[in-house]
Structure 1
Amino acid sequence: MLRHLLVFLFFLTSGVLVAEPLYPPLSVAASQRLRRQLWHTPASQRRVDLLLRLSEDLTANYMGLGTSLDSASSYGQEATQLSQALGYVRGQIRSQYALGNVALCLNQVPDGARLLAQGLARSRQLRDARLEADGWYYSVATYTSSAADIVRRIACLQRALALYQALGDEARTAFILKAIADQHLTQGQLGLAQQELLRVLPRYRRLGRSHYAYDLLNVVNDKAGNYREALRYGLAALESAQATGDTTFINLFYGRVAYLYLALNQPADAAHYCRLALARAQRAHDPSDVFGIAHTLATALISLKQPRQALALALTQTRVQPASGDGQISRWSLLATCYLANREYAAAERCELQLLSILEARKTEASISTRSRAYCFLGQVYLLTRRYAAARYYLSKATALRRHTSIAGQAATERLFFQLDSAQGYYLAGIAHLQRYQTLHDSLFNDHKSKQIASLLVQYDTRKKEQDVALLTKQSLVQQAHLRQRESQRNALLGGMALLALLLGLGYNRYRLKQRSTRLLEAKQAEIFAQNESLANLLLEKNGLLEEKEWMLKEIHHRVKNNLQIIGSLLRSQSVYLQDKVARAAVRESRNRVHSMALIHQKLYQSQHLAGVPMDAYIQEIVEHLLASFDCSPAIQTELAVAPVELDVALAVPVGLILNEAITNSLKYAFPATHAGHLFIGFDAPAPDHYRLTIRDDGVGFGRDFEPARCRTLGLNLIQGLSKQLGGHLQVQDVGGVVINLEFSQLDVVARG
């Protein structure tokens, strides 16, 4: 159990951290082609662009795959000098970005942050939205993973997002949305990160890169403990990467799937995916990747009760694969794990000490968690070989780094301390470590599993103490038998006193433990009660705020309706003083438009639900008002076919104005003074969130020479403009009268907003 926990820690700390590049990476062939072009390209803006593209690609591959930086710095420096000589401002800004990212790769954070900030400031002066958006994204890497800096990271990403959206760059927009979800994942907001990733997933599918979104969904569900859901997304990432041919990070996807199969106790499946990844890593000659995958494969073999095969694999890879840098760390860790599984403690100790010497020589922040795991590993080895002083020394060093260690690592250290103290007879200290271990363990698993484990630990502890008492009793009896020949009565009395003292000590110890547990339980119950009261108060306050919000919304709609009615009354009063019939008709039409908008707010004010406008009652009132306004009710027969649909006010206002204009045009022009007619108005929802509006009359029509697309009348211009605002499809036809059809979708309006 402990060995598997340590392997899990290794997976988290030594695995490759992948980052999808902002711009797609170059293939090997494309990179070589650009290098050949560079040889034949003279000093020009074209040469600057080639230099920067090669530098950016090398840097992105280093950040994502851990490959060599190669000539990234020299390319960036040459691009800087050449762009300054040419006065090529965009090249100068991109050069600052390229050199800033190289500095970040070399852990020169102040220099990198300064170069990126300078490039960002110049891009804003140049008003180049794309360069500014790139600068905001690159600035994210200048911040740490602290809580305050993650907020700053998200702010930078949101500014980049706004610029990419304004540019209409769908690929970069999807990338930044996923990056924001990744930051929320780092914050621990797993639910929010999953919602954001599910929203961005359709965008990645359209771009043919859905495996990156699937992979992040895999990580989110893994951290949430939803292993089966995580496995589903991990397999989907593999399938998408293979289908699109984008296998840049496929070894990472294989590794995640293998780890999940291990978590689900299916080591045979884990071994299968490890072997696929290992074959690819060996072809790519990547020692760090080879040893990392081999470590996961060895863990699966150990779980399958095949430790000898795991060790053979490790020895084979060590002989075949040269290692340097991070590859050395993976190599020694792999060997140490396999030797420990085979109970070759001396070899395991030697390998782990080699690993520790490399980590301590580096002393970087990134290696602290791996050092903590190495200390814990050595503590376990020395505990198993009964070198208790050395075990305590290394476990103490691991405890000193607990701030940089995961909860699982802390729990493993506490359990080893418990075993060490028990072995040395420090029972009170051991109990304290056991309690801390259980507390940490409870934060990793659900309550049911925690209770089961705690029960097993207590049973184990009780049996061990009973066995110890029985052993001490037997030893006492043996001693009494030897001493009975000389001083039988005295020895019997001393033995009884010793036994009584032992029983009293155990009883007192149990009594103190029970008292402490009772106090802790009472404190916890008091805390839960206080939290329940706080939640109840918050719920009451929330309900009050909701009622106040609903009242205020109704009051707003009421006031808007009153204001619009005042405007209508002013227009009516103005029309009395107008002599010109055209002006009077224009004022009347404006009054009708105002009336149609006022009706919406009246409906919302009178309705019990503020979510939408009831279109059946609303359309009927508009029609009745217009017929009364034009005084043509007897001559013109109206037919309404309106479904009981509720529309949001943002959709109902333009729909009402379109109705007002269309019906007004029909009443004004379709039916001459002596001509009776029929007017049909229909509104329905043929599909969810999809709506259709139809206005049809059997009047005189437009005439042969009339073309709606070229018409410049106010009414038709308003209808066309409002239709575009709705994102709808408008058709105006003359077929035995005028027919106006408008179809629109609420989803299109939300997307345009």
Structure 2
Amino acid sequence: MADISKSLNNYELETKAYKYISEAYMKKMDSSKAFYFAKKALDINKNRNNLKGYLLDINQLGRAYHHFQLYEKAIETYNKGIVEYNKNGGGNKLTVLSTIYSNLSAAYDKIGQTDNSIEAILKGVEIAEKTNAPTQKSYSLYLLGYKYMGIENYKKAEEYFLKSLEFSDSVSLQTYVNMNHHGLGINYSRWGIYDKALHHNKIALDFFRKQNDKLYEFDVLNNIAVVYQKINRYDSVVKYGELALKIAKEINHKLAISGANLTLSNAYLNLKQYNKAEMVLLEIAKDTITPNIIDNNSKSAIFSNLSEVYEGKSNYKKSLEYHKKFKKINDSINKQNLDSKFSDIETKYQTEKKEKQLAEQKIATQEQELLTQKANTRSWILGLGILLLSVSAFFIWRRYKAEAKAKQIISNQKDEIEQQKNMVETLQKELHHRMKNNLSFIDLFINLAKGRFEDKAYQNKLNDLQNRMRSMFEVHKQLFKKDDVTSVQAKNYIDTLVENVKQAYEKDSVTITNTTNENETLLANTSFPVGLIVNEFVTNSYKYAFEDQKEGTIHIALTSQDNVYKLTLKDNGKGLPKDFDINELDSFGLETIKLLTKEYGGTFTIDGSNGVAMNITLPKTAA
């Protein structure tokens, strides 16, 4: 097509052909040819002083740079187009300019320049409203959705994605309809509304498959895998993760391959398929020396997962080696984040302090001016009525200023409280993170000790110690992963503790049921005694309850009502001796449960006539 256009001396058709060829090479992930043909089109329109064509070619070249993650080059290219438009008084080229501003916003967003990104998108929206161009209006609304999602305002993001989807559908822009389904899928996933996340992602997946858009297809598949990971459906994670990896390899996209492998490694770990997890993690680890492929956050996840893999395979030496790597890089990330946060707070504080000083100076100046004006007025106007009016006006003004100042002080105090609250939450997360790491080290040392001694009694004691320690470890692990550091998901927490005990004793004949509601939460400080009590009860049941039985059942339920938690623990084992006396205990586990209940101000009852049944209440207290 390009050659035919050239022979016909039709430069407009020729430049269009070059843009299409550039787009095709973008899909094939051939960066050099994508840039080459975009630049050929650009040179033709520049030499012919065709501003509209030039701006379209600038947009294509910028998109190509963005596609291959050269965001600085993309920004430079887009700004070059804006300068050219302003220099030549673009006139009716506003639609193209709006597209350039929108794409410029996306590029700024990628390098963390939020203020520039917002400024560019607002300019793009302003131009789109003037021109009423359907494609640009859809794209601008879509970008606003992403912008709000980026600052975690998921309700606003939903509003703009749905607006863009509705408008795009009304003007039959099917690509934008499905781009918005894709955006809504990510937004709902981050928001925690997983059924809607899957619904919108699967609509988008069907469309992009039909369009043979491999990059979007990969992204949607990986997003679906991540949603299934969040709801603990690991078989589905593997299914969609492997499909995503296949696409990533087809288009030879290094970053996509690493992302898909990392998603798969998490699923394999949770399914305890350690060999598969090790294989994909070691494949990604080859790229950890290349910063543009693997960033520090991904490196941290890789080393953490490899540590878990080798712990699962009982290779504690390697597990400790990767745990040290994880800790080193994670401490570096956390320090950088904290330094940045404290720097932002200090800058904001100094700015507000300076603004307050300037405001006070301005008020003082205004007061002086008013006093001078009043004196002059009094000199010229001797009427008593006007003097009284001036005095009244002055006092009204002073009162208004005093109220305004008081409101400003209250507003500043609220801002300072919010800053302090955010700082405390950050420090709490850092504390939980460090506690989790320290407990993880202890866990590794216990495993190393278990590997050196074959005595069964010694192994059992270490298992008991390890499970008690893991009940505390799990609290810090869950709190570190959450934005809310004051509570944990009760059912998931108890399931994890139970799984640790099951692995330690390996009795397949024992069945454990946990009927705790999925939405039940447990305050952070109450989660420690609950975890230790559950661990002690389940451990005792495994060790003593079913000695004379082929099969056994353990039941656990945690409920909350008013200001108390109620924990019910039962087994159908041999029960307690007839002469059992709660005040004369010879069981470390039962003594621990009794002491923990008393220490936290709870109540404790036990019945050993038909198996063992415990009913424990603990007060709800703020963490």
> Which TM-score applies when normalising by structure 1?
0.43
Output one character per residue of 1:698-728: Cα deviation in whole Å (capped at 9) or x when no partner. xxxxxxxxxxxxxxxxxxxxxxxxxxxxxxx
Map of 1:89 onto structure 2: 51
Output one character per residue of 1:395-443: Cα deviation in whole Å (capped at 9) or x when no partner. 2663333467999998775334124567999xxxx9xx99995995438
**1:559-570 correspondence runs (5 A):** none
1:442 maps to which of 448, 461, 485:
485
In the alignment, is the contact (CA less than 8 A) between 2:334 and 2:430 conserved in 1?
yes
Q: CA deviation at 1:329?
A: 6.2
1:193 maps to which of 148, 151, 157:
157
Q: CA deviation at 1:100?
A: 5.3
Map of 1:418 onto structure 2: 435
1:117 and 2:53 matched? no
1:456 and 2:527 matched? yes
Q: CA deviation at 1:255?
A: 0.9
In the alignment, is the contact (CA less than 8 A) between 2:22 and 2:33 conserved in 1?
yes
Whichever of the two has the greater Rg, that structure is 1
User: Relative to 1, partners in 2 of residues 1:255 and 1:143: Cα closer, same or farther, differing over 3 Å?
Assistant: closer
SS in 2 for 1:107: helix
2:141 maps to which of 146, 163, 177:
177
Q: Give the letter for the 1:455 counterpart.
A: T
User: Relative to 1, partners in 2 of residues 1:120 and 1:140: Cα closer, same or farther, differing over 3 Å?
Assistant: farther
Q: Give the letter for the 1:221 counterpart.
A: Y
Q: CA deviation at 1:267?
A: 0.6
CA distance in 2, matches of 1:412, 1:109: 37
Map of 2:174 onto structure 1: 208
**1:38-117 correspondence runs (5 A):** 44-55=11-22, 61=26, 67-98=29-60, 105-108=70-73, 111-112=76-77, 114-117=79-82
Output one character per residue of 1:68-88: Cα deviation in whole Å (capped at 9) or x when no partner. 531444445444443343333
Q: Give the letter for the 2:157 counterpart.
A: A
1:298 and 2:369 matched? no
Q: Give the letter for the 1:271 counterpart.
A: V
In the alignment, is the contact (CA less than 8 A) between 1:147 and 1:187 conserved in 2?
no
Map of 1:607 onto structure 2: none
User: Relative to 1, partners in 2 of residues 1:259 and 1:37: Cα closer, same or farther, differing over 3 Å?
Assistant: farther
**1:201-280 correspondence runs (5 A):** 201-205=165-169, 206-209=172-175, 210-242=177-209, 246-280=213-247
CA distance in 2, matches of 1:229, 1:295: 24
Q: CA deviation at 1:260?
A: 0.9
In the alignment, is the contact (CA less than 8 A) between 2:6 and 2:14 conserved in 1?
no
In the alignment, is the contact (CA less than 8 A) between 1:336 and 1:349 conserved in 2?
no
In the alignment, is the contact (CA less than 8 A) between 1:45 and 1:88 conserved in 2?
no
User: Relative to 1, partners in 2 of residues 1:156 and 1:440: Cα closer, same or farther, differing over 3 Å?
Assistant: same
Q: CA deviation at 1:303?
A: 0.9
In the alignment, is the contact (CA less than 8 A) between 1:178 and 1:196 conserved in 2?
yes
1:134 and 2:70 matched? no
**1:432-511 correspondence runs (5 A):** 440-442=483-485, 451-457=522-528
Q: Over aligned residues, Cα RMSD in angstroms? A: 5.1
Q: Give the letter for the 1:252 counterpart.
A: D
Q: CA deviation at 1:261?
A: 0.9
In the alignment, is the contact (CA less than 8 A) between 2:42 and 2:57 conserved in 1?
yes
In the alignment, is the contact (CA less than 8 A) between 1:339 and 1:345 conserved in 2?
no
User: Relative to 1, partners in 2 of residues 1:50 and 1:396: Cα closer, same or farther, differing over 3 Å?
Assistant: closer
Map of 1:599 onto structure 2: none
Q: CA deviation at 1:240?
A: 3.5
Q: Give the letter for the 1:400 counterpart.
A: Q
1:398 and 2:360 matched? no
Map of 1:645 onto structure 2: none
User: Relative to 1, partners in 2 of residues 1:402 and 1:346: Cα closer, same or farther, differing over 3 Å?
Assistant: farther
In the alignment, is the contact (CA less than 8 A) between 1:102 and 1:112 conserved in 2?
no
**1:264-663 correspondence runs (5 A):** 264-314=231-281, 326-327=292-293, 336=303, 339-343=306-310, 344=315, 347=318, 378=324, 395=331, 398-402=334-338, 413-419=430-436, 440-442=483-485, 451-457=522-528
Q: Give the letter for the 1:158 counterpart.
A: V
In the alignment, is the contact (CA less than 8 A) between 1:45 and 1:86 conserved in 2?
no
CA distance in 1, matches of 2:64, 2:485: 43
What runs of 5+ residues in structure 1 fail to find an aligned partner?
Answer: 1-33, 353-376, 382-390, 465-508, 511-519, 525-753
CA distance in 2, matches of 1:188, 1:100: 27
In the alignment, is the contact (CA less than 8 A) between 1:255 and 1:273 conserved in 2?
yes
SS in 2 for 1:451: strand
In the alignment, is the contact (CA less than 8 A) between 2:487 and 2:523 conserved in 1?
no
In the alignment, is the contact (CA less than 8 A) between 2:478 and 2:488 conserved in 1?
no
CA distance in 1, matches of 2:9, 2:44: 11
CA distance in 1, matches of 2:283, 2:75: 43
User: What fraction of aligned residue pairs are identical, expressed as a percent?
Assistant: 12
CA distance in 1, matches of 2:98, 2:330: 48
> Which TM-score applies when normalising by structure 2?
0.50
Q: CA deviation at 1:293?
A: 1.2
CA distance in 2, matches of 1:328, 1:423: 25
User: Relative to 1, partners in 2 of residues 1:379 and 1:454: Cα closer, same or farther, differing over 3 Å?
Assistant: farther
Q: Give the letter for the 2:156 counterpart.
A: L
Q: CA deviation at 1:259?
A: 1.0
Q: CA deviation at 1:115?
A: 0.3
Q: Give the letter for the 2:48 counterpart.
A: L
CA distance in 1, matches of 2:478, 2:13: 67
In the alignment, is the contact (CA less than 8 A) between 1:100 and 1:115 conserved in 2?
no
CA distance in 1, matches of 2:115, 2:295: 32
In the alignment, is the contact (CA less than 8 A) between 2:479 and 2:487 conserved in 1?
no
Q: CA deviation at 1:300?
A: 0.9
CA distance in 2, matches of 1:409, 1:67: 40
CA distance in 2, matches of 1:409, 1:158: 35
CA distance in 2, matches of 1:435, 1:268: 22
SS in 1 for 2:31: coil
In the alignment, is the contact (CA less than 8 A) between 2:433 and 2:480 conserved in 1?
no
Q: Give the letter for the 2:56 counterpart.
A: R
CA distance in 1, matches of 2:80, 2:486: 42
What runs of 5+ residues in structure 2 fail to find an aligned partner?
Answer: 342-421, 443-472, 491-518, 536-598, 601-620
In the alignment, is the contact (CA less than 8 A) between 1:52 and 1:94 conserved in 2?
no
Q: CA deviation at 1:322?
A: 13
